[in-house]
Amino acid sequence: MMSSENRVQEARLHPAVEEAITKYGIAHEVLACDDELADTAVFCKHYGVSLEQAANTILVASKKVDPPKYAVCVALGTTRLDVNKTVRERLSVKRASFADAETTKELTGMLIGGVTAIGTENLPIYVDASVLAQKEVVMGGGNRTSKLLLDPNELTKLPNVEVIEGLAKAQD
């Protein structure tokens, strides 16, 4: 997967991510990441990680609901989140979409390109079942300069996690 030079224990995770890892006993490895290479496709290409092993974390927000409803969703890089059906139904709203960068930062404390479900325990966490079928995945470390390498089943240790079949669909 990644060369040993990229497996760096000194890479700093977001404090909320570090706290959750400790609190829930999540086995993981920390990987360093160049800030300019944090977005999934660029990261995978540069570091030699397959998109099948990239677990994207996306904040989804309801539309035209006051107060808005939110969920943290985890899907593989080879899939597309089914926001218009599955996520919308789970949130019990008529419309939903990806939250913007400002809202994501406000609710998670994390920047897009580094968002992870770990450390977002105040929100529902929906994980596509295909993520758990992988032996290991790479996901954000809560910032744009670190990633986590872990067995995706470790995510089920988090509170508010719901594993959902069909949360994401294969990309065209």
What global pTM score does this model have?
A: 0.91
Domain ranges of the chain: 4-150
pLDDT beyond 80 at 38: yes
Q: Is the dihedral of CA 8, 154, 74, 172 positive or negative?
A: positive
Residues 48-102 have pLDDT tens digits of 999 999 999 999 999 988 899 999 999 999 999 999 999 999 999 999 999 999 9
SS3 label, residue 24: helix
Give domain 4-150's CATH architecture: Alpha-Beta Complex (3.90)
Residues 134-159 have pLDDT tens digits of 999 999 999 999 999 999 999 999 99
